[in-house]
């Protein structure tokens, strides 16, 4: 015998898939947020490494121009050396 597929079954399947998709999107957003934090942390770490290697000073200005951190070389500190 063949199984009869009802409209109710199809609708329930659609709802399950939509809920699953929503969960994946939420998880994706969380992963993207973590990636952004890790990228920013890596930029700071690389800047620190360059500062040590080059014996320079960098001015950190948070939240300038919509960026979390804007790292600029402090020219005045270099001129004192």
- Residues comprising the chain, all counted: 81
- Asked, for residue 27, whether it belongs to a domain, the answer is yes
* Number of compact structural domains in the chain: 1
Helices and strands counted in the chain (H then E): 2, 2
Answering whether pTM is above 0.85, one says no
- What distance in Å separates the CA atoms of residue 35 and residue 47, rounded to the nearest whole number? 18
pLDDT in tens, the chain (81 residues): 568 889 999 999 999 999 999 999 999 999 999 999 999 999 999 988 998 998 887 676 664 555 554 444 443 444 444
- Asked, for residue 2, whether it belongs to a domain, the answer is no
- What distance in Å separates the CA atoms of residue 76 and residue 59, rounded to the nearest whole number? 10
Domain extent for 48: 7-80
């Amino acid at each position: 015998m063949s199984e009869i597929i009802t409209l109710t079954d199809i609708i329930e399947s659609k709802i399950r898939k939509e809920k699953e998709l929503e969960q994946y999107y939420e998880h994706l957003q969380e992963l993207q947020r973590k990636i952004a934090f890790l990228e920013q942390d890596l930029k700071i770490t690389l800047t620190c490494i360059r500062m040590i290697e080059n014996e320079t000073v960098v001015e950190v200005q948070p939240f300038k121009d919509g960026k979390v951190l804007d790292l600029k070389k402090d020219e005045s500190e270099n001129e004192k050396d």
